[in-house]
Amino acid sequence: MAQLLTIEDLRLLAKRRVPRMFYDYADSGAWTESTYRANEADFAAIKLRQRVAVDMTNRTLASTMIGEQVSMPVALAPTGIAGMQHADGEILAARAAARAGVPFTLSTMSVCSIEDVAQNTDKPFWFQLYVMRDRAFIERLIDRAKAAGCSALMLTLDLQILGQRHKDIRNGLSAPPKPTIANLINLVFKPRWCMGMLGTKRRSFGNIVGHATGVGDMTSLSAWTAEQFDPTLSWDDVKWIKDRWGGKLILKGILDAEDAELAAQSGADALIVSNHGGRQLDGAVSSIAALPGIVEQVGGRMEVWMDGGVRSGQDVLKAVALGARGVLIGRPFLYGLGAMGEEGVKLALDIIRKEMDITMALCGKRDIQDVDASILVKGKA
Ligand SMILES: Cc1cc2nc3c(=O)[nH]c(=O)nc-3n(C[C@H](O)[C@H](O)[C@H](O)COP(=O)(O)O)c2cc1C
C-alpha cells in the first residue's frame, strides 16, 4: 500500500474500499458541484506569510470550543450514514476523535444510535438535530441526547429541503439501497467492507427505526424521511429547541451576514459558517469566503466556526486567521473511516494536526491563540 501522508491519500484508498454508492454519497455536491469545488479552491487562493528567525519552540494548538478543551480547534462534523462508509462507523469515529482530543458530532441520520454511541465510547459527544415535522419525535430525540450525556446540541438549519445530488440518483441510493446489478457487482470488489457489514447488526438509521411513529423497518423509513424534513422551520422553532434543550446550542448552516445577525440574537453559543459541504445551494459562496463578513457581523457575541473544504492543517490555520474559533471536517474524516476504520479517522486527524503545527511555526507563531490575520498575505482574504 502506498504511504498515507495526506487526506487525498485517504480519499483514494476509501474510493477503492467503499462501495461506489456510499463513496459517491460522501464525495459529491449538489447539481453542478460549483460550491463544493469553490469551498476547496477558495482556501487554495489564500496565501500565507512565511516568517523566519523567530523562536519556534514550545508550540501549542490547544484551544477551547464552546468552553470545551480541544487538543486543536477541529471537530468531526455530523455526517449521515457514516456507518455505511465502514461498519459501526459512528462508534469508530467517536473513539478516534476522543483519542485525538477533539469533539465528535453524531448526526440525526446516523447508523449507530445515540444510545449505542454513548454506550460504546467514554467521552461525551455532540448531537446534531434536524427538525422534522413530527415534533413529538424531535422532543424525544432531544431528551435522548440529554439522557445520553451529549454536551451540546447542534441544530442544522440549511437542509429543510434537499439539494439534488445527481450521483445519488444514478446510483440508486435510497433506504434500502436499490439492489441493481451494477451495485451488486460493485460489492464483489469490496470484500473488506462486506465482511465488516456482515459482522455488525448496525445497518439502518439507528436514531429513527423503532423510535419514530410508524417506522419499523427500512421500507417505511424511506417514505418517512422523504416527507419529514420540515420546510416551515423558523427562528421561533430555534427558540423552542433552545428552551427544550437547555444546554449549549450550536447553529449550523449560516452563510449570510443577515442570518448571522439573527443567529447572534438567538442566544445560541456558536454558529457554523457552512453551506453543508456544497451539498445544498449550488452557486452559493464558499464558506471561507463568507467567514470574514460573518465574524464582523457577530462581533464576538458568540463563537463563529466554519466548515467546508478543509483538507489540510494549512486550511484550518487560514480559517482561524480569518476569525474562526473552530473548524469542522466532514469528508476528510469520512475518507479516513472508509479507508481504515477507526485508525483511518485517527490518521486523518494526525495528518491535519501535523500540517497545522508545522505551518503555524513557519508562519512565525507558536500558539494557536496568537494566530490572526497577520499570518495572511493581504488582499487574498
Ligand atoms: C456524506 C455527508 C453527509 C452529511 N450529513 C450531514 C448530516 O447528517 N447533518 C449535517 O448537519 N450535516 C451533514 N453533512 C455536512 C457536514 O456536516 C459538513 O457541513 C460538511 O461535510 C463540511 O464540508 P467538508 O466535507 O468539505 O469538510 C454531511 C456531509 C457529507 C459529506
Domains detected in the chain: 7-375 (3.20.20.70)
Report whether 288 contacts 46 (CB < 8 A): yes
Core vs surface per residue 342-356: b (16+ CB within 10 A) or e: bbbbbbbbebbbebb
Per-residue confidence (pLDDT) for residue 235, from 0 to 100: 98
- 107 a known binding residue? yes
Which three cell numbers mark 313? 492543517
Please tell me the predicted confidence (pLDDT) of residue 45: 98
pLDDT at residue number 179: 87
CA dist list (Å): 58 to 73, 349, 350, 367? 18, 20, 18, 8
287 is in an annotated binding site: no
Average pLDDT across the chain, whole number: 96
Measured between alpha carbons, how far is 315 from 331 in angstroms, rounded to an integer? 14
Ligand 1, atom 4, lies closest to the CA of 79
Q: Which three cell numbers stand for residue 120?
A: 460504546
pTM of the full predicted structure? 0.97
With 0-12 / 13-18 / 19 or more C-beta atoms within 10 angstroms meaning exposed / middle / buried, residue 255 is buried
| Buried residues in 125-155 as b, exposed as e (16+ CB within 10 A) | bbbbbbbbebeebbeebbebbbebebbbbbb
Predicted confidence at residue 214, as pLDDT, reads: 82
Expressed in angstroms and rounded, the spacing between residue 26 Cα and the centre of ligand 1 is 8
Q: Count the neighbouring beta carbons within 10 Å of the beta carbon of residue 333.
A: 33
pLDDT surpassing 50 at residue 70 = yes
pLDDT at 381 over 50: no
| Cell 440508486 belongs to residue | 172
Q: Whose CA is nearest to atom 7 of ligand 1?
A: 79
* C-alpha to C-alpha distances, 120 to 98, 228, 343, nearest whole angstrom: 12, 29, 16
Beta bridge partners of 252: 156, 272
% of the chain with per-residue pLDDT over 70: 99
Task: List the Cα angle 302/300/242 in 5-degree steps.
Answer: 15
Is it the case that residue 367 has pLDDT exceeding 90? yes
- Asked whether the beta carbons of 183 and 21 are under 8 A apart, the reply is yes
Enzyme catalytic residues: 276
DSSP conformation class of 375:
G
The 10s digit of each residue's pLDDT in 153-202 is 999 999 999 999 999 999 988 878 888 999 999 999 999 999 999 999 99
Tell me the per-residue pLDDT of 19-56, one tens digit each, with 9 for 90 and over.
Answer: 999 999 999 999 999 999 999 999 999 999 999 999 99
In sequence order, which ranges of the chain are alpha helices (DSSP H)?
7-17, 20-26, 34-44, 89-100, 114-119, 135-147, 166-171, 181-188, 191-198, 218-228, 235-245, 257-265, 287-298, 313-321, 331-362
The whole-number pLDDT of residue 5 equals 98
CA distance 289 to 380: 10
Most informative mutation of 25, 35, 79 for ligand 1 (most atoms within 8 A of CB):
79
- Contact between 49 and 377 under an 8 Å Cβ cutoff? The reply is yes
Closest ligand 1 atom, residue 128 Cα: 11
Given this model, what pLDDT does residue 2 score?
Answer: 81
Q: Which atom of ligand 1 is nearest to the CA of 310?
A: 27
What's the CA-to-centroid distance between 49 and ligand 1, angstroms? 31
The answer to whether 307 is annotated as binding is yes
**What is the Cα–Cα distance from 366 to 280, expressed in whole angstroms?**
37
- Distance from residue 256's CA to the centre of ligand 1 (Å): 18
Cα–Cα distances (Å) from 252 to 23, 127, 213, in that order, read: 24, 12, 27
Question: Could you tell me the distance, in angstroms and rounded to a whole number, from the CA of residue 77 to the centre of ligand 1?
Answer: 6
Phi/psi of residue 247, each to 5°? -115, -160
User: Is it the case that residue 380 has pLDDT exceeding 60?
Assistant: no
CA distance 41 to 46: 9
Pocket test for ligand 1, best of 250, 279, 287 (most atoms within 8 A of CB): 279
For atom 5 of ligand 1, which residue has the closest CA? 79
- Known binding residue 309? Answer is yes
Cell 501549542 belongs to residue: 60
Q: Residue 33 corresponds to which amino acid?
A: E
- Mark 25-63 as b/e (b = at least 16 C-beta within 10 Å): bbbbbbbebbbbebbbebbeebebeeeeeeebeeeebeb
pLDDT in tens, 283-319: 999 999 999 999 999 999 999 999 999 999 999 999 9
Is 330 assigned to a binding site?
Answer: yes
Q: What are 200-243's pLDDT values in tens digits? A: 999 999 999 999 988 877 677 777 887 899 999 999 999 999 99
- Per-residue pLDDT, averaged over 352-379, amounts to 97
- pLDDT, residue 57, reads 96
Helices then strands, counting H and E runs in the chain, come out as 15, 10
Going from the Cα of 281 to the center of ligand 1, the distance in angstroms, rounded, reads 13
- Looking at ligand 1, which atom is closest to the CA of residue 274? 19
pLDDT in tens, 74-130: 999 999 999 999 999 999 999 999 999 999 999 999 999 999 999 999 999 999 999
Residues 300, 24: Cα–Cα separation, whole Å? 38
- Ligand 1 neighbours, Cβ below 6 Å, are 25-26, 39, 77-80, 107, 109, 128, 156, 252, 274, 276-277, 279, 307-310, 329-331, 334
